[in-house]
């Protein structure tokens, strides 16, 4: 026995690549989750801080997070759509239209801020219901339906605004969504709660994967991942508290992530979303109401777009004919994909909306501080999105090969 052990040690010493190959296979089978993206975000922050010392200042970080909160809220809905293996190209236009409805109702018609916001959110839900029922009833791909919606809702936005053009917002409730800041103790409570929920979510995901025989990362890797999140959150809370405190918009955004994380992971509806995105025919054979799931997800996506539009206009203190246009759609989709949600359906989670939004707006904000032209910003963002999609495609192909 001792001779055999000695021989194995000698073979490992002679062939160290065999051990490296074993480690590589173990990593390939494991679910690293958002760890690579988090590490990339840290690298991005370090690079921009070196290039411009104001990047990690309390003021700039607050502006960055507020921008990410609005776009990230839209990305939450897009994550749900992507989990189905579909796409919604109308979220930017829906956000602009619903934001315009809120502004017109409040400023021009004198409707109180809270009621105006509810009307705008209801309009978003109605748009999602219309688009969802249209593509399920007539079997038209969501890509086509929402592309038509992207054009139509922009026209509706111009009609709603009329000749007014820009509407400045002064209602305390609407303005306060992005411009209310809480004292330090609230920031610490929110930060610690966020870390706790993230850790619990990762542990639950690990147990689920273990239960069905899928590979998982080591306990050390899990602790390292949670540790990175904890350090990032603590640093963020310290910086925010040193400026004006924790913004209400960020608390709303984090609350929505936690709620939808619970919905997708802990409810039958959430499991059905993953099932439909993973295999639609198998879902039908399992008696899942596929059309109902699709319509419900489209409603939630447009509702999140409306919420994101309200948060954006609250941050900008105004709405105009260009609200929801430009790179709003690109940023929302890129955040979901870069954060780790697969374009092929059935894989990802709502945390990717947060992580991806931080990556996208960190890059955009950093390039703004460096005074780089918009052309460079678009090319860099497009390149990052292409890399994320390529990684997703390679990962999916590897999973298919291993499954054969």
Residue 181: strand pairing partners: 247
Q: Residue 205 and residue 74: Cα distance in Å, rounded? A: 24
Distance CA 59, CA 244 (A): 8
Contact 181, 247 (CB under 8 A): yes
Please, what sign has the CA dihedral across residues 145, 146, 147, 149? Answer: positive
What 3-state class would DSSP assign to 247? Answer: strand
Q: What local confidence, expressed as pLDDT, does residue 178 receive?
A: 92
Report pLDDT for 319.
Answer: 93
What is the rounded CA–CA span in Å between residue 269 and residue 63? Answer: 35
Helices vs strands, H then E, count in the chain: 17, 4
Q: CB-hemisphere CA count at 13 Å for 196?
A: 6
Predicted pLDDT of residue 224: 79
Q: Give the Cα separation of 271 and 276 in Å (integer).
A: 9
Find where tokens 């390292």 sit: 224
Going residue by residue through the chain, which has 404 residues, state the pLDDT in tens, using 9 for 90 and above: 444 444 444 444 444 445 445 444 444 444 455 667 777 888 888 899 999 888 988 889 888 999 899 999 999 999 999 999 999 999 999 999 999 999 999 999 999 999 999 999 999 999 999 999 999 999 898 999 999 999 999 999 999 998 877 899 999 999 999 999 999 999 899 888 888 888 887 787 778 777 777 666 677 777 877 887 888 888 888 888 888 889 999 999 989 998 998 899 889 999 999 999 988 899 999 989 999 999 999 999 999 999 999 999 999 999 999 888 888 888 898 889 888 888 888 888 898 888 889 888 898 899 989 888 878 878 887 887 788 778 767 776 766 655 55
Q: What is the pLDDT of residue 153?
A: 95
pLDDT of 200 reads: 85
Q: Tell me which H or E stretch contains 81.
A: helix 58-83
| pTM, rounded to two decimals | 0.85
Q: Which residues pair with 246 in a beta bridge?
A: 182
pLDDT at residue number 154: 94
DSSP character at residue 212: T
């Amino acid at each position: 026995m001792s001779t055999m052990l000695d021989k194995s040690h000698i073979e490992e010493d002679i062939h160290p690549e065999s051990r490296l190959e074993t480690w590589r296979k173990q990593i390939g089978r494991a679910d690293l989750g958002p760890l690579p993206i988090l590490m990339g975000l840290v690298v991005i922050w370090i690079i921009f801080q070196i290039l411009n010392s104001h990047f990690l200042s309390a003021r700039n970080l607050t502006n960055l997070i507020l921008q990410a909160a609005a776009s990230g809220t839209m990305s939450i809905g897009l994550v749900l759509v992507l989990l189905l293996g579909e796409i919604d190209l109308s979220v930017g236009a829906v956000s602009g239209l619903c934001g315009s409805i809120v502004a017109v109702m409040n400023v021009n018609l004198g409707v109180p801020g809270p009621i105006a916001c509810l009307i705008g959110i209801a309009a978003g839900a109605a748009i999602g219901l219309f688009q969802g029922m249209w593509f399920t009833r007539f079997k038209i791909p969501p890509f086509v339906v929402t592309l038509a919606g992207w054009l139509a809702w922009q026209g509706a936005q111009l009609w709603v605004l009329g000749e007014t053009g820009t509407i400045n917002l002064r209602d305390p409730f609407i303005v306060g969504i992005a411009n209310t800041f809480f004292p330090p103790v609230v920031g610490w409570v929110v930060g610690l709660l966020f870390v706790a929920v993230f850790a619990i979510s990762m542990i639950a995901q690990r147990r689920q994967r273990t239960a069905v025989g899928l590979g998982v990362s080591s306990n050390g890797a899990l602790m390292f991942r949670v540790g990175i999140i904890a350090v990032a959150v603590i640093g963020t809370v310290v910086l925010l508290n040193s400026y004006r405190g924790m913004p209400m918009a960020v608390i709303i955004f984090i609350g929505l992530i936690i709620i939808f994380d619970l919905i997708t992971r802990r409810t039958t509806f959430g499991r059905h979303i993953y099932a439909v995105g993973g295999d639609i025919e198998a879902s039908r054979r399992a008696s899942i109401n596929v059309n109902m799931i699709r319509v419900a997800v489209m409603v939630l996506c447009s509702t999140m777009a409306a919420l994101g539009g309200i948060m954006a206009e609250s941050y900008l203190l105004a709405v105009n004919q260009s609200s929801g246009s430009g790179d709003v759609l690109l940023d929302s989709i890129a955040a979901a994909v870069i954060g780790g949600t697969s374009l092929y359906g059935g894989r990802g989670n709502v945390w990717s909306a947060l992580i991806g939004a931080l990556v996208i707006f960190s890059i955009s904000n950093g390039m703004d501080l460096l005074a780089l032209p918009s052309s460079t910003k678009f090319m860099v963002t497009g390149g990052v999105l292409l890399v994320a999609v390529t990684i997703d495609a390679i990962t999916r192909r590897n999973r298919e090969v291993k499954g054969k």
